Amino acid sequence: MLIFKRIHDIQNYLNASKKEGQHIGFVPTMGALHKGHISLLKECKKGCDIVVCSIFVNPTQFNDKTDFEKYPNTLPADIIKLSGSGCDVLFLPSVTEMYPEGYANDNPMRFGFIAQTLEGEHRPGHFDGMAQVVEKLLDIVKPGKLYMGQKDYQQQLIVQQLIKKIKLNTELIVCPTLREKDGLAMSSRNVRLSKESRKKAAEISRTLRIVKARLKMHKDGIESLEKFGFQRLADITGLEPEYFAIRNAFTLETAKSESEKLIALTAVRTGGIRLIDNMRLN
């Protein structure tokens, strides 16, 4: 596995590979790699000749300073995991390499409602920072295929729009969420959970599953299921749901009927850690 820290160097390498007809696949991450990330790399390996992974904890997408400062860093272990899972190129830029002129994002791209609702509402500035760095990374790597997780559902919807806006010839492939045995969605932040919070966090995906099952039984309307999901989580001591929403899976608009493709999305705080999860309902 080759490791590049400089934009110029990785571009030289990838340009030469593209000239030889190699297909580039890209998996951007913030490190602290777990099996969810590795599943993306494996998908990428299946569909591409050269698997590129980036590890960059992007300061501009953190709206919470403590979350940024405490974001886990496990680089030596990450490098071992990557080279053992078929990664060919690791891009490991510094903050100054990515932002030589500072963080200013004078003209953030506008994505409309899908970026303003849910996470957009609860994490102001997060998607502006995410789009800022993904645009830079895509411009550097220019992959034929980009692999992202359903775990960050709103993020992948926005990246899909970003690819259209900047007219890149990149196909976005969205991979399913990998979960722990008890259903908790794998996340780099899970290592920061206390034993007690970790146990309770399993209720997040359990609630999503219960809501899915209840919808299937046609017993409750969408609005009452949203209330049910939120209240079920709020009733568990130690869990503080921020939202529990059932939305149209393509537009994230409020769902009007069960004939639409629906998705339930939630964000829950526990012991100072914020976790997100989602589940397609039909």
For ligand AMP, how many residues bind (rule: CB under 6 A)?
17
Under the binding rule (CB under 6 A), the answer on residue 132 touching ligand AMP is: no
Judged by CB, which is closer to ligand AMP: 205, or 207?
205
Minimum distance from CB of 25 to ligand AMP (Å)?
Answer: 13
Write out the binding residues for ligand AMP, residues 135-154 only, by CB under 6 A: 148-149, 151-152
Is position 170 an interface residue for ligand AMP (rule: CB under 6 A)?
no
282: which 2 tokens? 């039909």
From the list 48, 58, 24, the residue with the least C-alpha distance to 168 is: 24
State which residue, 187 or 270, has the beta carbon closest to ligand AMP: 187
Which CB atom, from 130 or from 245, has the smaller least distance to ligand AMP? Answer: 130
Q: How far is the CB of 223 from ligand AMP (least distance, A)?
A: 28
Q: Residue 185 interacts with ligand AMP (CB under 6 A)?
A: yes
Is residue 29 a contact residue for ligand AMP (CB under 6 A)?
yes
Residue 37 among the catalytic residues: yes
Residue 130 makes contact with ligand AMP by CB under 6 A = no
Question: Does 90 help bind ligand AMP (rule: CB under 6 A)?
Answer: no
- 37, 122, 126, 218: the catalytic one is 37
- Shortest spacing between CB 204 and ligand AMP, in angstroms: 12
Q: Which one, 173 or 214, has the nearer CB to ligand AMP?
A: 173
Residue 73's contacts (CB-CB under 8 Å, 6 or more residues apart) are 31, 32, 57
| Residue at 15: amino acid letter | N
Q: Which of 188, 190, 197, 270 binds ligand AMP (CB under 6 A)?
A: 188
> Toward ligand AMP, which CB reaches closer, 29 or 197?
29
Phi-psi region of 103 (alpha: psi -120 to 50; beta: other; left: phi over 0): alpha
CA distance 244 to 205: 12
Half-sphere exposure (Cβ direction) of 271: Cα atoms closer than 13 Å? 13
Q: Could you identify the residue written with the tokens 């034993």?
A: 195
From residue 30 to residue 69, the character string flagging contacts with ligand AMP as x (rule: CB under 6 A) and all else as - is x-----xx-xx-----------------------------
By annotation, the residues acting in catalysis are: 37
Q: Which residues bind ligand AMP (CB under 6 A)?
A: 29-30, 36-37, 39-40, 148-149, 151-152, 175, 177-178, 185-188
